[in-house]
Amino acid sequence: MSENNKDRNNKDQNNNFFNNNPLLAFALFAIAIIVIFKLMVGDGGNIGSVVNNNNIQQTKQVKYSEIKKAIEEDKVKSVKIAPSSIEAISSEDGKNVRLVATNIPAIDRDLIPLLEKKNVSYEGIMGGGFFSDVISMLLPILIFFAIWIFLMKRMNKGMGGGILGVGKAGKLINSEKPKTTFDDVAGAEEAKEEVKEIVDFLKYPERYIELGAKIPKGVLLVGPPGTGKTLLAKAAAGEASVPFFSVSGSSFIEMFVGVGASRVRDLFEQAKKEAPSIIFIDEIDAIGKSRTSGGPMGGNDEREQTLNQLLAEMDGFGASTPVIVLAATNRPEVLDAALLRAGRFDRQVLVDKPDYEGRLAILQVHIKDVKLGSKVDLTQIAKATAGLAGADLANIINEAALLAGRKNKKEIEQEDLMEAIERAFVGLEKKNRKINELEKKIVAYHESGHALMAELTEGASRVTKVSIIPRGLGALGYTLHLPEEENRFLKQKHELVAEIDVLLSGRAAEDVFLNEISTGAANDLQRATDIIKAMISVYGMSDVAGLMVLEKSQGNVFLGGGQTIKDYSDKMAEDIDNAVKEFLEQRYTHAKKLLNEYREAIEEIVSVLRDIEVIEGTKVREIIKAFEEKSGLKKLAQKEEKSKQNNPKKEK
C-alpha cells in the first residue's frame, strides 16, 4: 500500500486549505478579532459584572418595586440604569448592599424625577453591552465553523480530500510514473508472468489493436495483505513506463452519497486522458462487496452507487483504450459477481505468501538497501520466517538495521536479524498470522497423507506440489493435483472412490501419526461426503438405491438458478445416511492401514515439508519408490506399470 503517498497528499491538502477557502479564512479572522477586542475591553457594562465597588458587602436580587421603595426611603446612594435592569447601592444598617432588579417593567417615567428629588446619583449604561451582543450572535456561527473544520480534517484523513475536493479528484488520486520494476518484486514468479502480458499491451497497444485483440481490462490481484500486490501493480506501470493512478477502495466509502461515484468517474477520465495507463484500486472489496450481502439493513447506497459507476466505467471504454485496471483484494469471495464478469475483472492472479525460496529472494531484494555483515546467513532467516509475507520481511530487515544502529554497529549481524524476527512474530502472533511449530507439524502430516494416498491409489490424480504455507485464503496447506489426462468428462467409479480415499487421508494421517485429530479436515470431509452421496443418489453407483436416481436437479444448478429435488422415502433417507457413514468408515480404515504401511515414506516427506515447506511431486515419488524398494511394497510400482500399459506413449 502506498502509505507515503497518502500522507503526502494529506499535507498538500492542508496547506492549501485556507487558500482554497478565502471566505472561511475571513470569517475565522473576524471572529478572532472580536474575541480579542472583547477580552481587551473587558466588561462591556454588564450590570452583573460590576464587582469593583469595594465596600459592597452583599448583593441581593430584588423586585423593581423594592428598589423604588428604598429610594423613597432615602436608603439609596447611587443607581445604574440599563434598558432592562437596574442596580442600586443602598445602605442598610450601616452596610452597603447592592440591590439588583432584572426584568424591570417598561420605561418608568417617574424614576428619573424621583432620583432627582432624592438627590441620588444615577447613570445609564448599555444593556448586555455591544460586544457581548455580537458574541452571542456569533457564537453559534463559531461553533458551526469549529465543527465544520473538524469534519473537514477527518475527511482529509480518510480520503486525502475534503468536501471541497468534490469533483476535483485530481488532488485525491495519486498519479505517478513509478520507477519500480519486476526486479523489485521477488518470489511471486507466477503472478509476475501473468502481469507481464499486460505490460506488453501497454507498451505496444497498436500491435494488439490492429489485430483486433481483446485485451483484458481488469485484473484482480488476490492474496493476503503485504504479499506485494501494490508492488506488482506498480512494477507493471514501471516496466511499461505508463502513469499509475492509485486509489484505495475504502476511500470511496467514507464520503457522502454520490461523491464516490463522481470520484470513480474522475479517476477514469484522467486515466483515459493519459492512456496508456494503469489504474490500481486497492481493497476493492470495500466497494465491490456483493450487493446481495448487504445484511438486514439492505445495501449501502453509497457503495452501490460507487460500484455501479465502476462497472459502467469499465464497460464504457473499448478494447482499444489502453487503460488497465488492476485491483487488489484478500477477500475475493465477497466480491459482487458482476465485477468478475467478462470484460471486467475476468482475470484473477493469485499473489500468495512466499515459500522458502520466495522468502529468500525477497530478503535478497531488500538487503540491497542496507549494510549487511559478511557472516549473515539469509537461508536461516528465510527458514525462520515461514508464514510471513513480503511486507513482513521488508520490515524485519529494517527493524534489524534499527537494532544494529542502536547498538552502534557498522553492519547488521545475524543476531540483529534474528531479534527482529522475534519481534515481528510477537507482533504477528496477536494478528494470528504466524503458524506455530505444532500447526506446521500437523499440516505437514495431513498434507503428506493426501499426497501419499494420491500417489498410491489407482485413479487418483498425481501430486504436482505439496505445500504447508498457509495460503491466507483459508487453507493452511495444500496438495496440488493434476489429473493424468486432460479433458476428462467422465469419471469411473474407482476414480470417485480414489478421490474419497485421498480426501480422507489427511485426517487419517493425523490420526495415525499424531494420535490426535484436528479441525483441519473439515473441508476434506465435506467433499468426501458430497461425493459418496452423489454416487448413491445421482450416479446410481450403490447397493442401497441401485439404479434408482433419488435426486434430480431443476434449472441449472451450476449457474446458481436451479434446485435439487429429493424424491425418496424417509426409510430410504435413513438407509442412505447409514450407507454413507459405513462407506466413509470403510475407506477411512483402508486409508489408515495404507498410511501405516508406508510410515517411513510419510515421515520422510514430512521432514522435507517441515524443512522447506514445499515438496515437488517428483520428489514425493522418489521417496516412495526408494521406500518400496527397501520394503518390498509395490503400490506405486503397480500403479505405474498399469498406467504404462494404458498409455504406452505418454509415460517415460
Footprint of Zn ion (CB under 5 A): 506, 524
Query: What is the b/e burial string over 168-203, where b = at least 16 CB atoms within 10 angstroms of the residue's CB?
Result: ebebbbbbeebebebebbbbbeebbebbeebbebbe
CA–CA gap between residue 648 and residue 201 (Å, rounded): 42
365 binds, among ligand ADP, Zn ion, none (CB under 5 to 8 A by kind): ligand ADP
**Could you write out the DSSP letters of every residue in 103-169?**
SPPS--TTHHHHHHHHT-EEEE--SS-HHHHHHHHHHHHHHHHHHHHHHHHHHHHHHS--GGGTT-G
**Residue among 127, 158, 225, 373 that touches ligand ADP (CB under 6 A):** 225
**Residue among 70, 104, 199, 231 that touches ligand ADP (CB under 6 A):** 231
Q: Which of 239, 447, 510, 604 is catalytic?
A: 447
**Residue among 13, 90, 156, 227 that touches ligand ADP (CB under 6 A):** 227
**Residue among 45, 162, 187, 216 that touches ligand ADP (CB under 6 A):** 187
524 binds, among Zn ion, ligand ADP, none (CB under 5 to 8 A by kind): Zn ion
Examine residue 247 and tell whether it contacts ligand ADP (CB under 6 A). Answer: no
617 binds, among Zn ion, ligand ADP, none (CB under 5 to 8 A by kind): none
Examine residue 191 and tell whether it contacts ligand ADP (CB under 6 A). Answer: no
CA–CA gap between residue 620 and residue 631 (Å, rounded): 16
With beta carbons less than 8 A apart as the criterion, state whether 169 and 270 touch: yes
- Please report how close the Cβ of residue 392 comes to ligand ADP at its closest, in angstroms: 8
- Please report how close the Cβ of residue 130 comes to ligand ADP at its closest, in angstroms: 59
178 binds, among ligand ADP, Zn ion, none (CB under 5 to 8 A by kind): none
**What is the side-by-side strand order in the sheet with 462-467?**
478-482, 462-467, 614-616
3 state SS of 551? strand
Q: Please identify, using beta-carbon distances, which residue of 166 and 365 lies nearer to ligand ADP.
A: 365
Phi, psi of 180 (to 5 degrees): -65, 140
**Residue among 67, 267, 286, 394 that touches ligand ADP (CB under 6 A):** 394
362 binds, among ligand ADP, Zn ion, none (CB under 5 to 8 A by kind): ligand ADP
Alpha-carbon distance values, 67 to 46, 58, 61, 87 (Å): 19, 15, 10, 8
Task: Number of residues interacting with ligand ADP: please give it, by CB under 6 A.
Answer: 18
* DSSP conformational letter for 343: T
| String marking each residue 518-537 x if it binds ligand ADP according to CB under 6 A | --------------------
Strand partners, 326: 219, 280
With beta carbons less than 8 A apart as the criterion, state whether 110 and 9 touch: no
Q: Please identify, using beta-carbon distances, which residue of 460 and 545 lies nearer to Zn ion.
A: 460
Name residues whose C-beta falls within 8 Å of residue 20's C-beta, 6 or more positions apart in sequence: 164
Q: Please identify, using beta-carbon distances, which residue of 6 and 491 lies nearer to ligand ADP.
A: 6
**Residue among 185, 360, 435, 509 that touches ligand ADP (CB under 6 A):** 185
Residue carrying the nine cell digits 445416511: 577
3 state SS of 503? helix
Phi, psi of 400 (to 5 degrees): -60, -40
Examine residue 188 and tell whether it contacts ligand ADP (CB under 6 A). Answer: yes
Examine residue 328 and tell whether it contacts ligand ADP (CB under 6 A). Answer: yes
Q: Please identify, using beta-carbon distances, which residue of 216 and 506 lies nearer to Zn ion.
A: 506
CA–CA gap between residue 370 and residue 347 (Å, rounded): 37
Active site residue 357: no
Residue carrying the nine cell digits 488476490: 222
322 binds, among Zn ion, ligand ADP, none (CB under 5 to 8 A by kind): none
CA–CA gap between residue 32 and residue 10 (Å, rounded): 26
With beta carbons less than 8 A apart as the criterion, state whether 598 and 452 touch: yes
**Residue among 27, 35, 338, 365 that touches ligand ADP (CB under 6 A):** 365
- Please report how close the Cβ of residue 38 comes to ligand ADP at its closest, in angstroms: 52
Q: Please identify, using beta-carbon distances, which residue of 2 and 457 lies nearer to ligand ADP.
A: 2
Q: Please identify, using beta-carbon distances, which residue of 81 and 195 lies nearer to ligand ADP.
A: 195
**Residue among 75, 229, 507, 590 that touches ligand ADP (CB under 6 A):** 229
Phi, psi of 536 (to 5 degrees): -75, -50
**Could you write out the DSSP letters of every residue in 273-322?**
HT-SEEEEEETTHHHHB-GGG--TT---HHHHHHHHHHHHHHHHS-TTS-
Q: Which three cell numbers mark 567?
A: 424424491
**What is the side-by-side strand order in the sheet with 76-81?**
56-61, 95-102, 85-92, 76-81, 121-124
Q: How far apart are the first and last CA of the chain?
A: 47
| String marking each residue 372-391 x if it binds ligand ADP according to CB under 6 A | ------------------xx
Query: What is the b/e burial string over 601-625, where b = at least 16 CB atoms within 10 angstroms of the residue's CB?
Result: bbebbbebbbebbbbebebbbebbe
- Please report how close the Cβ of residue 561 comes to ligand ADP at its closest, in angstroms: 35
- Please report how close the Cβ of residue 522 comes to Zn ion at its closest, in angstroms: 9
Q: Please identify, using beta-carbon distances, which residue of 162 and 226 lies nearer to ligand ADP.
A: 226
With beta carbons less than 8 A apart as the criterion, state whether 163 and 155 touch: yes
Of 152-160, 209-217, 229-237, 589-597, the segment contacting ligand ADP by CB under 6 A is: 229-237
Q: Please identify, using beta-carbon distances, which residue of 335 and 442 lies nearer to Zn ion.
A: 442
Q: Please identify, using beta-carbon distances, which residue of 229 and 481 lies nearer to Zn ion.
A: 481
Phi, psi of 9 (to 5 degrees): -60, -40
Examine residue 186 and tell whether it contacts ligand ADP (CB under 6 A). Answer: yes
**Residue among 226, 322, 332, 470 that touches ligand ADP (CB under 6 A):** 226
With beta carbons less than 8 A apart as the criterion, state whether 542 and 497 touch: no
Of 186-194, 523-531, 543-551, 552-560, the segment contacting ligand ADP by CB under 6 A is: 186-194
Q: Please identify, using beta-carbon distances, which residue of 233 and 509 lies nearer to ligand ADP.
A: 233
401 binds, among Zn ion, ligand ADP, none (CB under 5 to 8 A by kind): none
Looking at residues 4 to 23 of the shown chain, list those that interact with ligand ADP (rule: CB under 6 A).
Answer: none
Q: Please identify, using beta-carbon distances, which residue of 358 and 506 lies nearer to Zn ion.
A: 506
161 binds, among ligand ADP, Zn ion, none (CB under 5 to 8 A by kind): none
Residue of this chain nearest to ligand ADP (CB atom): 390
- Please report how close the Cβ of residue 3 comes to ligand ADP at its closest, in angstroms: 9
* DSSP conformational letter for 22: H
**Contacting positions for ligand ADP (CB under 6 A):** 1, 185-188, 225-231, 328, 362, 365, 390-391, 394
So which residues are the catalytic ones?
447
